[in-house]
Amino acid sequence: MIRVAGLSFAYHSGPAVLRDVSFEVEVGESVGIVGPNGAGKTTLLLCLAGVLPVPPGRIRIGHLDPGVSGDRHLLPEHLGLIFQNSDDQLIHPTVEEDVAFGPLNLGWPESVVRQHVTEAIQRTGLHGLENRVPWQLSGGEKRRAALAGVFAMRPEVLLLDEPSMFLDPRARKDLIRLLNEWPGIKLIAGHDLDLVWQTCRRTILLDAGAIIADAPSEILLSRADLLEPCGLEVPFRLRLGLSCSRDGQT
């Protein structure tokens, strides 16, 4: 589980980007983190992933504390982060080698690495693209390759920052399916409220670094009075009053 208690963060000596943020996420739960630009969504994910320095005792990821140096090195085994721009994440010259990068870093035996890489490639539908150069893939394929690289590490927690950015409708639909099939904890940050509604049971609304609301997605995402002051809109599907299931089927 994830526990965040009274987390505040500021870059260098700038203004606070996160202000006294507290929430908990249970095992298997999917949570959307929504808010306008500059709300602190990406910063929150980077703090959770141990990329940004946080004081000890503010965050717990299972039994690990990203504020403690020793725990921070163990985080990649338990937590995977998908960045906004897949080009930041795909560094190897072939898709297969990129997917293997994380598992090899964890020091797993070669046979286990190969098995996990094969499974991650199949799960994300990248079969046949193993030897392709990642930077020559389409936006959707790059996103799937980035996901495969994290899936291969079998993390219990998946953090996604604006996962539908640069995706066409088909690639977005594939992404939603992949996310709904993933059994672990998911934290999905972004402005794509339709995607959040289709993948997350619960949503946290963040504005100016503070939590404005934390409620089931059906309730929070239909509250125009909460969303509109933050520059967000009720998802299209909810506005139309369609009776859609979460996988997007009417």
Partner 1 sequence: MTFLTDQASIQPTWLSRWDPRWKIAAFGLTTFLVTLLRSETALAAAAVAVIALTVSVRPDGRWLGRRSASLAFFLAPFMVYLLFGSISSGPWQALRLALRAILVFQLAAIVVASTPMHRAARALSSLGVPRLVTKLLVMTHRYTVVLRDQWQRIGTALHTRGFQVRASRRSWQTMGMASAVLLLSAEDRAKRVAAAMRCRGFDGQFHDYHRPSTRASDVARFVVMVSVVGAITAFDRIAQ
* Residue entry with tokens 């949570």: 31
Binding to partner 1 (CB under 8 A): which residues in 203-242?
none
Of residues 149, 157, 37, 159, the one with CA closest to residue 101: 149
Task: Give every CB contact of residue 63 below 8 A, 6+ residues apart in sequence.
Answer: none
Q: Is 46 in the site for partner 1 (CB under 8 A)?
A: yes
Q: Give one word for 225, left, alpha or beta, with left for phi > 0 and alpha for psi -120 to 50.
A: alpha
Among 18, 21, 47, 81, binds partner 1 (CB under 8 A): 81
Q: Is 153 in the site for partner 1 (CB under 8 A)?
A: yes
Q: Is 87 in the site for partner 1 (CB under 8 A)?
A: yes
Q: Is 38 in the site for partner 1 (CB under 8 A)?
A: no
Stretch that binds partner 1, among 7-15, 29-37, 75-83, 232-240 (CB under 8 A): 75-83
Among 49, 120, 179, 200, binds partner 1 (CB under 8 A): 49
Q: Is the dihedral of CA 198, 202, 207, 212 positive or negative?
A: positive
Q: Give one word for 214, left, alpha or beta, with left for phi > 0 and alpha for psi -120 to 50.
A: beta
Among residues 80 and 140, whose Cβ is nearest to partner 1? Answer: 80
Q: Is 115 in the site for partner 1 (CB under 8 A)?
A: no
Size of the site for partner 1 (CB under 8 A): 34
Supply the minimum distance, in Å, between the C-beta of residue 81 and partner 1: 5
Of residues 148, 196, 160, the one with CA closest to residue 85: 160
DSSP-derived letter for residue 86 is G
Stretch that binds partner 1, among 60-68, 104-112, 166-174, 194-202 (CB under 8 A): 104-112
Supply the minimum distance, in Å, between the C-beta of residue 149 and partner 1: 7
φ and ψ at residue 58, rounded to 5 degrees: -90, -30
CA atoms within 13 A on the CB side of 23: 23
Among 1, 8, 101, 139, binds partner 1 (CB under 8 A): 101
Residues that bind partner 1 (CB under 8 A): 46, 49-51, 73, 75-77, 79-81, 83, 85, 87-89, 91-94, 96-97, 100-102, 104-106, 113, 117, 135, 149-150, 153
